[in-house]
Structure 1
Amino acid sequence: MESEEPLGRGWRGTEDGWIAAAYDMLIEGGVEAVKILPLAKRLRLSRTSFYWHFQDREALLAALVKRWQDKNTGNLIRQTERPAPSIAAALLNLFDCWISADLFDSRLEAAMRDWARTDAALGEAFTDADARRTAAIRAMFERHGFGADEADIRASAIYLTQVGYIALGTAESLERRLERIPTYIETFTGQRATEDELAVFAARHLKG
């Protein structure tokens, strides 16, 4: 039987710290791994410290769902709404999500989709998120002069391609991803990005 002795006396940790540890366990082992005692041991805190921040495990899981909604869905929508002089530049703004984990966390997205297969409420949240994200991409195309039907098809193609990347665990180096970006832009928009647009995009992601 595992000991439940306090591992960190006199300190209860922070709400963000508990959520961060829960995030790590979700990524590593799925939602079933996110349990209070293992989290407490990882943080070297007593199990009772958890209850200063959360009513129960369900409240912690709800915080993980909110983190996913705010980061992945929220940032994706905001990126589609950024001002852009062309549809190519607008799509490059969206593609920032596929490059930067600060904007869109693909590991979290994959773990959440796995979780949603066994949680009906989260499954519904994903249905809503997928619809909102696709609608935002569609609206981006419409703002750049595409008709509703064409915008819908192009938006779906873009979104389902990225969902496929995540579902298959496709890994590409940053250099390889940047090499492919111009062709993706032309494929998804029917237009070519300018050299200046591509240079600005690359500069956002290349270090040094």
Structure 2
Amino acid sequence: MSTQSPQKKSGWRGSEELWLNAAYDLLIEKGVDAVKVQPLAQNLGLSRTSFYGHFDSREALLEALVGRWRDKNTGNLIRQTQAYAETITEAVLNIFDCWLRPDLFDARLDHAIRNWALGDPALRAILEHTDSDRIDAIAAMFERFGHAPHDARIRAFTIYYTQVGYVSMMVQEDTQVRVDRMPTYIEVFTGKPPSESEVERFRARHLPRPAVRHGKQG
């Protein structure tokens, strides 16, 4: 019986997800100019023709990368602005989940897209529209909690541009340090401190619980 893996069987062309993941890795590590069919094929150990079984062109692959970014980062951010919350401070903590969970918001991908857009006017237009959608969602969240439209938009700008700064500067901050600072950020952004219970629930979502030590039994 053959022990050859499915990936190595004759005629295997990979999958669309495999090619897209490989393109993502190159985009993150080296930028969009490195995302080309031949290097991808070499990295995957597949032929160039295998690529065209999944994408019509390099441009189609790049469009899929942009689609992944919009679906994940923008989609999740907007959903977090609409998540259940009893107070505006709890609502902003829901947004902060994005900054601490790469499965909700991929900061490296956001950074790569912003760098790519510097040399691509079409993508720059998409980025500007996407930023506007994100800010609109945050502003709408503040309005739901009674903030006037102008005030809501200024607060949305403050939250969003702060995070864009984190992304653009590629700030590396220990999770414990960032979580400890977030209650103060909440007060700056909303004008109100979060309650102790809100902070504790947020901390429980993002910081590991200390191990329970059992004493020796006599």
TM-score by length of 1: 0.95
1:91 maps to 2:92: yes
Give CA deviations for 1:141-160 in whole Å, capped at 9, x if unaligned: 00001111111111001100
- Partner residue in 1 for 2:186: 185
Tell me, in whole angstroms, the C-alpha distance in 2 between the residues paired with 1:174 and 1:162: 15
Match of 2:14 in 1: 13
Overall identity of the aligned pairs, in %: 56
Asked if 2 retains the 8 angstrom alpha-carbon contact of 1:8 and 1:46, the reply is no
> Who is 1:201 aligned against?
202
Q: Does 1:163 align with 2:164?
A: yes
Match of 1:103 in 2: 104
Taking the aligned partners of 1:101 and 1:175, their CA distance within structure 2 comes to 16
What does residue range 1-208 of structure 1 map to in structure 2 within 5 Å? 9-208=10-209
- How far does residue 47 in structure 1 lie from its aligned partner after superposition? 1.0
Pairwise CA RMSD: 1.1
Q: CA deviation at 1:9?
A: 3.9
Q: Distance in 1 between matches of 2:10 and 2:199?
A: 53
Partners of 1:204 and 1:17 in 2: how far apart?
31
Displacement of 1:8 in angstroms is 7.3
The structure number with the bigger radius of gyration is 2
The two structures have a TM-score, normalised by structure 2, of 0.91
Secondary structure of the structure 2 residue equivalent to 1:171? coil
Structure 2: state its 5+ residue gaps.
1-7, 210-218
Q: What is the aligned length?
A: 202
State the distance in 2 between where 1:157 and 1:99 align. 18
Q: Which runs of 4+ in 1 moved over 4 A?
A: none
Over residues 15-52 of structure 1, what are the superposed CA-to-partner deviations in whole Å (9 max), with x where a residue is unaligned? 00000000000001000000001101111111110000
Whether the 8 Å contact between 1:8 and 1:44 is mirrored in structure 2 is no
For residues 200 and 207 of structure 2, what CA distance do their matches in structure 1 show? Answer: 10
Letter aligned with residue 203 of structure 1: A
